[in-house]
Structure 1
Amino acid sequence: MDEIPKAIQLLWGLDEPGSRGPKKGLTLMQVVDAAIDVCDAEGFAALSMSRLAKQLGFTTMSLYRYVDSKDTLIDLISDRVIGPPPTIASTTPWREALEMWAMAEFESIRAHPWWLEIPLTAPPAGPNNMGWLEAGLAAFSETAVPDPIRLQLVMNMSLYVISRTRLVLQMTASTDAPDNYTLVLGRVLDPARFPALLKAISAQAFDMDENNWEINDFKFGLDRLLDGFERYVESF
């Protein structure tokens, strides 16, 4: 199995954690879940092998029986956190299926927002990530869209979900924007230079439902993306 990266071997059960040293009675997934607990409580930047060892009551060196490096650990928690894809009935129309898929990924990331901080150094290859890809591709099973195009559409959808979720979470966490944002803009913008923007502001284009704006904003963009997909799918 040397040609397969260690993280992928562990993700797919092709290898087991090392056997050297005394047994501690933990599974690999318990170690991974403890790392996720650290990130949930303190953020992704707080994760280190020494911090994880403290969380588990281990020595740092003993953790290398389970994972050979922090990079391997990160690959494992990345796949673990995103979780399995939603169950979508095979009879679900493709647009509805993709909407369910996208909303589920949106909520999965929102549950662990630090996941967005994990560097993407290689294409995801874990079973959960592959499950999401399979579920997205399956949505097009009753269409005439060619397989390579299906993959591009699903990847495009995932990129939308990730980037839009990142924006929503950053805006939610930000304390920099003034509460009277639209009023401030209305006072500083020159009507001769920004007529279209001022017209949008006066129509309350920036006003948000404080209770649901994150979901509404995400879904509005998702619906427009799916509108484009629909026209494209109909062309085959």
Structure 2
Amino acid sequence: MDDEEVPATLRRLWGRAGRPRRGPKPALSTDRIVRTAADLADAEGLGAVSMARVADVLGCTAMALYRHVESKDELLALLADHIAEPLTMPEHAGDWRSGLEAWTRAQIDAALARPWFLELPLAAARIGPNRVRWMEEAFAVLAEVDLRGDEKLAVVGLLAQHVLAEARVQLETTLAAADDVRRRRGLPADTPLSELDPAEVTAANPMHDFETVLHDLAAPGDYPHLKAALADMPAPVLTGARDPDAEIDLGLGLVLDGVEAYVRARSAGPPPRPPGDGTVGGPRHHGSRDDRIGDRPAG
């Protein structure tokens, strides 16, 4: 495919757009615009990012930006790739499971450090070089694992979805707790989270209302299984002394347990057929015993 046939946004992401042919060498660049937008989002949130506002910070007109970024939608696409730029693979034990754990935790930490990332529309997530480089890290970890390419891609996709879900839960519950603390203390709504007492924010986490509702408001005979589970929880969970890192570790561990079980099953028998042929993952699969992962397909 010729460069001219590739969408302009992808060409810019991959540095293939070139600079404008007419006029003097521009003082602006796509990279400078994107970094300015990211700094603005870090300081004031994604809602503050607009072509006009970025231009104001750069000391130019909004029209000058359009020579390098054709729209706000494209700017968001560039931001979605930019946020992966600083990601680096942490040290780990060297096996594939610890590697995937480190890879996933690094993304969760990055998302929590720049919460505006979670506000980016999914449509903005174009395939840029920073995201591809980070995917390469995961595939390097899986290089010696006995899975097909499509299965490895499914594992990476599953973990990427876990990142979004886990980061969103951690972030939104923390923000809700911070709002509650501000209201109770009569603080301005824009008081930074960093200026609030971390212990007070943790104790105000709305997830703790769950136990209160079941214990104090629900009828005694209702929801017996939930109440039994709550009665079996460690006291810190119910008193507000949450450990977000432990919660993340537990959730990620459960996901990786499933991946590990799948890998073991694959090494014990022939691979399942590709999706669509009536076996595992295909639209005609009905969950028959012989079609389960690790069992020999029927027939």
Whether TM-score is above 0.5 comes out as: yes
CA distance in 2, matches of 1:111, 1:153: 24
CA distance in 1, matches of 2:9, 2:95: 36
Per-residue CA deviations over 1:44-86 (Å, capped at 9, x if unaligned) read 1221111111111111111112212212211111101122543
The number of equivalent residue pairs is 235
- 2:170–2:244 contact (8 Å) kept in structure 1: yes
1:116–1:187 Cα change, 3 Å:
same
Per-residue CA deviations over 1:1-40 (Å, capped at 9, x if unaligned) read 2211112111111122425455553332121110011111
184, 198, 215: which one pairs with 2:245? 215
1:32-181 equivalence runs, <5 A: 32-87=34-89, 92-121=94-123, 124-175=126-177, 181=209
CA distance in 2, matches of 1:151, 1:180: 36
| CA deviation after TM superposition for structure 1 residue 199, in Å | 2.1
| CA deviation after TM superposition for structure 1 residue 167, in Å | 1.1
1:126–1:204 Cα change, 3 Å:
same
CA distance in 1, matches of 2:145, 2:160: 20
Q: State yes or no: 1:232 paired with 2:234.
A: no
1:123–1:72 Cα change, 3 Å:
closer
- Please name the residue that 1:199 is paired with: 228
- Please name the residue that 2:217 is paired with: 188
1:105–1:208 Cα change, 3 Å:
farther
TM-score, normalisation: structure 1: 0.89
| CA deviation after TM superposition for structure 1 residue 179, in Å | 9.1
CA distance in 2, matches of 1:142, 1:197: 42
- 1:85–1:101 contact (8 Å) kept in structure 2: no
- 1:17–1:28 contact (8 Å) kept in structure 2: no
Instruction: Report the residue type matching 2:81 in the other structure.
Output: D
- 2:41–2:48 contact (8 Å) kept in structure 1: yes
Higher relative contact order (CA 8 A, sep 6+): 1
Structure 1 residues 182-191 or 201-210, which shifts more?
201-210
CA distance in 2, matches of 1:89, 1:147: 25
Instruction: Report the residue type matching 1:39 in the other structure.
Output: A
1:209–1:132 Cα change, 3 Å:
farther
- Please name the residue that 2:285 is paired with: none
CA distance in 2, matches of 1:6, 1:154: 27
CA distance in 2, matches of 1:164, 1:208: 22
User: Which ranges of structure 1 fall in alignment gaps of 5 or more residues?
Assistant: none
- 1:83–1:128 contact (8 Å) kept in structure 2: yes
- 1:8–1:126 contact (8 Å) kept in structure 2: yes
What secondary structure does 2:4 align onto?
Answer: coil
CA distance in 2, matches of 1:116, 1:208: 29
User: Which ranges of structure 2 fall in alignment gaps of 5 or more residues?
Assistant: 181-204, 267-299
| CA deviation after TM superposition for structure 1 residue 200, in Å | 2.5
1:186–1:90 Cα change, 3 Å:
closer
| CA deviation after TM superposition for structure 1 residue 233, in Å | 0.6
| CA deviation after TM superposition for structure 1 residue 178, in Å | 5.9
CA distance in 2, matches of 1:179, 1:214: 12
CA distance in 1, matches of 2:174, 2:158: 24
Per-residue CA deviations over 1:143-178 (Å, capped at 9, x if unaligned) read 111111010111011101111111110111014666
1:234–1:204 Cα change, 3 Å:
closer
Of structures 1 and 2, the larger Rg is shown by: 2
- 1:84–1:132 contact (8 Å) kept in structure 2: no
